[in-house]
Structure 1
Amino acid sequence: MNYTCQFTNQFGSKMEKMKSLHCNLEEGILTITFTGDPKSSTITEQSLSELHATIQEVYDNEDIRGVIITGAGEQIFSLGVDIAELLKLNELNARKFAENGQDVLAFIENCPKPIMAAINGHTLGAGVELALACHFRVATENATLAFPETSFGIIPAFGGTQRLTKLLGKAKALEYLMIKKSIRAEHAKQLDLVSEVVSYKEEMLKKAKQYLTAIVNNKDITGILVACVNAAENPDENGFQTEANGFASCFKTADIKEKLIKIVDKTVLLETK
């Protein structure tokens, strides 16, 4: 089912003008693929803008229940920020460029619907940062993750230093950032950077859809859980209060007591056997 046919005419026309992304909605799961030559798959201001618009539609469109983000082809997820984009930067506009990228990835991280990165090969710099902003990650066996920026005198700009530190701890994060070490798929799994490693892209996408389908079947609480877990890492937010508020909001649904009664009935039935 074509993604553009599902949405409003206004958004559909925007999608037709998009050059960086191809989107397909099937059984509630939206697959976003970075288009173009897989050998030169990079992140640009245009692709960031298009990604933001697409994720906004994810927030707004009830037909979308989960998202997979992947790269074109079998070998490359993303090679990071386009060098041509970096050549335009100076100290002033570089800060704005970084903040824009951080905003887009935070938009992904805070999305109330589950978003999975399906890492189909080499993933560098901002491509790793994008994957880390997703709620879950799966990878193919040939996938590698690395931050090569320091070799040409810059650092990650889209939140990579922050998210990698939260996931790996200070010492490991500095090791992979400073020494420019590549993380192969199996090692990434050992580090809990990815959940699953599979042989081929087709198998990976199948696994990702199965994973998300299991999650979206419980869609009433996915957004609440995202908010609670993110609050645990936000020093300006009382995570315990966010959790209490989220728990209370679970009881807004009309059928919650019916579900609880069914559980009690099943328990009683098991005890009588």
Structure 2
Amino acid sequence: MATSFENLLYELDTDSGILTITLNRPAKLNALNAATIGELGVAIEQGRADAAVRGILLTGSGEKAFVAGADIPELAALSGPDAQAAAARGQAVFRRFETSPKPVVAAVNGFALGGGCELAMACHIRVASENARFGQPEVNLGLLPGYGGTQRLVQLVGKGKALELLLTADQLKAEEALRLGLANHVVPLAELLAFSKNLLLKILGKAPVAVGLTIDCVNTFFEEGGQAGYAAEASAFGQAFGTADFKEGTAAFLEKRPAVFKGN
């Protein structure tokens, strides 16, 4: 049974297997405080463990913000050691989204700044509304990103552009984020959730084990380098051959029919 949350909405569509996690602090533009990050950690663990969950959609409540950043008053009260510990906790939670074998799509509705941009980047795919804005404004506060922003932004847009964005604190409009590869798609706000769910459903029509192995291989490349990535890919390729889904996929191809994957 799912935990009840104070700062999140946790809704599972049992027909599609899509779990929607909504950051729900609209009066604070869904800013990330310690309690919300803790709840995100619980939510992603529940989603990963629940066999009824096949894919995850992450979004924010309201029309203005996915996550507008950190909770600044809470942040300002931290000591240096407290801040380091908080960064480590946030990184660990975001890492669980990034390494989920179940696909995670961020539906970015409005501002994705600071921790919000970092959270979106930890998801596998980002769909942005036309009014979305991405940015890492931490240097304006005398800080730097603490939840993986200096690492993932480089992966998505390249070192030179990432450094420019990190050092200037400039915000990117949705179309520019799309051009740079930070966003995968840009759609009207009214179509954001439907588009994101349809994209997730398309992925969920594929073999679940193969999807999870693919996510792991891509992450291995970025974390450990090319040789480790190639080794992980060869190992995963062999694992996939041992699945019932491989037998079903090849049989369906030869019989010219849609495959019915069971995830084993």
Same fold (TM over 0.5): yes
RMSD, matched Cα: 1.7
Which of 189, 202, 215 in structure 1 is aligned with 2:203? 215
Q: Distance in 1 between matches of 2:245 and 2:133?
A: 45
Q: Take 1:143 and 1:232, find their aligned partners in 2: how far apart are those partners?
A: 29
The Cα of 1:80 is off from its aligned counterpart by: 1.2
Structure 2 residue 247 is matched with structure 1 residue 257: yes
Q: How does 1:43-54 map to 2 (within 5 A)?
A: 43-54=32-43
Following superposition, the deviation at residue 38 of structure 1 comes to 4.4
Determine if contact 1:78/1:127 at 8 Å carries over to the other structure: yes
How many residues are aligned here? 253
Give the equivalent residue in structure 1 for 2:194. 206
- Which residue, 100, 113, 119 being the options, matches 1:124? 113
Q: Tell me if structure 2 keeps the 8 A contact 1:38–1:75.
A: no
Q: Tell me, yes or no, if the aligned pair for 1:38 and 1:73 is still in contact at 8 Å.
A: no
Contact 1:38 1:71 in 2 (8 A): no
What is the rounded CA distance, in whole Å, between the counterparts of 1:263 and 1:109 in structure 2?
A: 31
Report how far residue 63 of structure 1 moved: 0.7
TM-score (norm 2): 0.91
| 1:98 CA drift (Å) | 0.6
- 2:11 alignment counterpart: 24
Between 1:57-66 and 1:130-139, the stretch displaced more is 57-66
Which residue number in structure 2 is paired with residue 245 of structure 1? 235
1:33 counterpart = 2:22: yes
Task: Judge conservation of contact 1:75–1:121 (CA < 8 Å) in 2.
Answer: yes
Give the superposition deviation at 1:132. Answer: 0.4
SS of equivalent residue, structure 1 residue 89: coil
Percentage of identical aligned residues: 39
Conserved 8 A contact 1:39-1:76:
no
Following superposition, the deviation at residue 257 of structure 1 comes to 3.1
Alignment of 1:1-273 (within 5 A): 8=1, 12=2, 14-15=3-4, 18-26=5-13, 27-200=16-189, 202-218=190-206, 219-235=208-224, 238-254=228-244, 256-264=246-254, 266=256
Aligned-pair CA distance for 1:265: 5.1
Cα distance in 2 for residues equivalent to 1:44 and 1:175: 27
Distance 2:70 2:192 in 1: 25
- Rate the CA distance shift 1:265–1:33 in 2: closer, same or farther, 3 A: closer
* Aligned partner of residue 232 in structure 1, secondary structure: helix
Query: 1:65/1:38 Cα in 2 relative to 1: closer, same or farther (>3 Å)?
Result: farther
Task: Tell me: CA distance 1:87–1:220, structure 2 relative to 1, closer, same or farther (3 Å).
Answer: same
Note the C-alpha offset of 1:173: 0.7
For 1:235 and 1:114, locate their aligned partners in 2 and report how far apart those are by CA, in whole Å: 21
